[in-house]
Chains A and B, each alone.
Chain A
């Protein structure tokens, strides 16, 4: 069929420029809040931020709505599908690199910076700076405890984190079941497995929040409790944000499935969400090993 040949090039679209305005308002709003947070007036910043987020949400509905409509109208051929697949794969790769920066930082402070501060190697850093400082990991006593009082203890990996690992790994299995069900057009099973995946993600997040509360209130393990808290919260925090995003995406996918947007043959939206979910899962396994256990 000749249609297979022609690649769909959309006509003009208003969504990208709306997205730009939304992004700009969101980020410049945040910057304005931060610039004014000590003493200034943050309300302008918060207004810009909120309007920006609203514009972004509107844009996401509109833009993805367009794509969904075009997809169902059969405008996308196999080549278009491959473009989406490449796009999503490289996007995930960029996310991998983002996390790598933080894992790299963890590696660097843990194996190089903290030992050097404690006097290891040829340098004389410790005698010049904090001669009493002793390196360890997890770092409970920071070089300058007056500025950065360290945590009393850290999270035990074999409690909630282990449970969370099981939850997320299970959710990777359930979403795979959902995928098999989609291919067999077994609609009830798809809904069941997808909903279960989302639920597992939500429970994971609940536990994560609980763990954070415990860290803040019982252990004095906080963002500003020195480098251990820094790396701990930044890595787990960004991961948690990704789980949240992934769960929202899966919810949208579930709703779209119920509306009949996906067929047994064409369901790239679903697959992209599943890839993303698996990626988030893999990051967690790395976190569990490198942040919690080691």
Chain B
């Protein structure tokens, strides 16, 4: 023992002082914290862009922004929310929680962990700076279909491409770290089938990330070559095909949507048992369902391309494969409901968010099923119905689970309880705001309002006004969330180690706030 401690005796100290702590840190908690704050900053920036969109759409006609700028707003909003807000938030949670949950001292590769994080602010600085460039920022949608993003793109697309490369590098390294931690750093006795579900879902998410982020890198590399070096991947004149872009993109893109939801499944599976005071119903089936969702997610990508002109056999294959995914998803919803069934339920803020997650995510799943029906999708595609669908799975899905996780583990992180009343206000305002925003989108979508257009026909005006009001309610409510978190960090009722009466798992055996180094000595799991 002495050899190691001799060389590294300062090991037991707390964090370093000043800004160096954050720049040079190798500590999973510091890094997790940075990820979470970064994600929240991006959430506000991306949210502001959404409000620009909703302000313009409050009335038909052109009021506030130019159509060119509107396009940049829809594009940037999507990119920032997906790559800047949702994904980093889950990596932040993974950093904070996985080592504590598996009984490890830290992440497996702590320096690389720091690198994964710090790439992100630079990547997003690069991406955001394009808004100020000549010709404007990316304006081709977050899905950046060629040839919009190649032949007809603004010059700044080159920065966009390299920013995406940086995000990819960050995600891949982050995912490698998560996998190595889970596979290699578990405390003695913690077998795979004893791992908390948040750890399981992240293990599978990390696999998805490593599998598809390189494909995204391939897609942007092909764009870069087509733009600058005369290749013809996406140019039919040279024998290529713009549809190829869509295939490559969605081969990444569909697993990507599961990257954004699987950790959310994990969060819900931690929180619901706690506040039901019952163990999770059907743990093994949860694991298998997650794994099958992940595998199926590789063979459904063309459900985003039903209208692009793929062969009939392709339409059928991708339609049935997509519907098949609803089965394991249904298993999960069934298990959450069964966990609550006859539990002694209480509805603290994390539970409120988790229950809303189950209900509203299911609505998103159902609209997904409608979209999965190829002949019906000919009608729905590129309308607001699709926008309604994916916002139902992403906002009350991914984002609500992040809120739930924050309320649930914040007392463990900072040692204080948050203000329960304010938390409930945050929940209800968010709940009302988001349903007001996104539910009417189903109707205007079915009635034929196209997405990504700054103007619309008169008959859509009423529903759009409701959406816009809802969006501002939802958006401003998030400032309350910021206030609640800061207030909790600065003080409040002291949290116990277990925090929640029904909570179970290694992280609750540590004191609150959790010590700087989690488990220097691995605990034994029975």
Contacts and interface: CB of A to CB of B under 8 A. Distances in A.
Interface stretch (B231-239, B284-292, B406-414): B231-239
A8 B214 contact: no
B243 A87 contact: no
The winner among B156, B184, B219, B239 for most chain A CB atoms within 10 A is: B239
B215 A100 contact: yes
Contacts of A109: 233, 239-241, 244
A229 B248 CA distance: 19
A7 B8 CA distance: 12
A114 B237 CA distance: 11
B110 A9 contact: yes
B109 A83 contact: yes
A30 B23 CA distance: 25
A59 to B, nearest CB: 10
B214 A13 contact: no
Given A35-B156, A142-B239, A227-B232, A6 B184 contact: no
Interface string A1-26: 11101111111111111011101100
A87 B108 contact: yes
Contact of B184 (A73, A83, A144): A83
Contacts of B25: 12
A15 B113 CA distance: 12
B231 A223 contact: yes
Interface string A193-205: 0000000000000
B244 A20 contact: no
Interface in A133-162: 139, 142-144, 147-148
B26 interface: yes
A90 B25 CA distance: 24
Interface in B98-137: 104-106, 108-112, 114-115, 118-119, 122-123, 126, 133
Contact of A79 (B4, B10, B184): B184
Contact of B119 (A8, A20, A31, A87): A20
B499 to A, nearest CB: 26
A37 B237 CA distance: 24
B230 interface: yes
In which size bucket is the chain B interface?
Answer: 35 or more
The winner among B156, B222, B231 for most chain A CB atoms within 10 A is: B231
A286 interface: no
A58 interface: no
Task: Decide if the interface of chain A is mainly helix, strand, loop or mixed.
Answer: helix
A116 B310 CA distance: 11
B218 A230 contact: no
Given A23-B119, A98-B215, A86 B108 contact: yes
Interface in A93-131: 93-95, 97-98, 100-102, 104-105, 108-109, 112-114, 116-117, 121-123, 129
B522 A34 contact: no
Contacts of B434: none
In which size bucket is the chain A interface?
Answer: 35 or more
A122 B8 contact: no
A31 B159 contact: yes
A177 to B, nearest CB: 30
A226 interface: yes
Nearest to A29: B162
Closest 8 CB pairs of A and B: A101-B218, A224-B230, A227-B239, A16-B115, A144-B237, A12-B24, A148-B238, A98-B214
17 contacts: A10-B111, A12-B16, A13-B111, A16-B111, A23-B122, A86-B184, A87-B108, A91-B176, A94-B213, A98-B214, A98-B218, A108-B247, A144-B238, A148-B237, A226-B239, A227-B238, A227-B239
Interface of A: 1-3, 5-17, 19-21, 23-24, 27-28, 30-31, 34-35, 37, 63, 73-75, 79, 82-83, 86-87, 90-91, 93-95, 97-98, 100-102, 104-105, 108-109, 112-114, 116-117, 121-123, 129, 139, 142-144, 147-148, 222-224, 226-230, 233-234
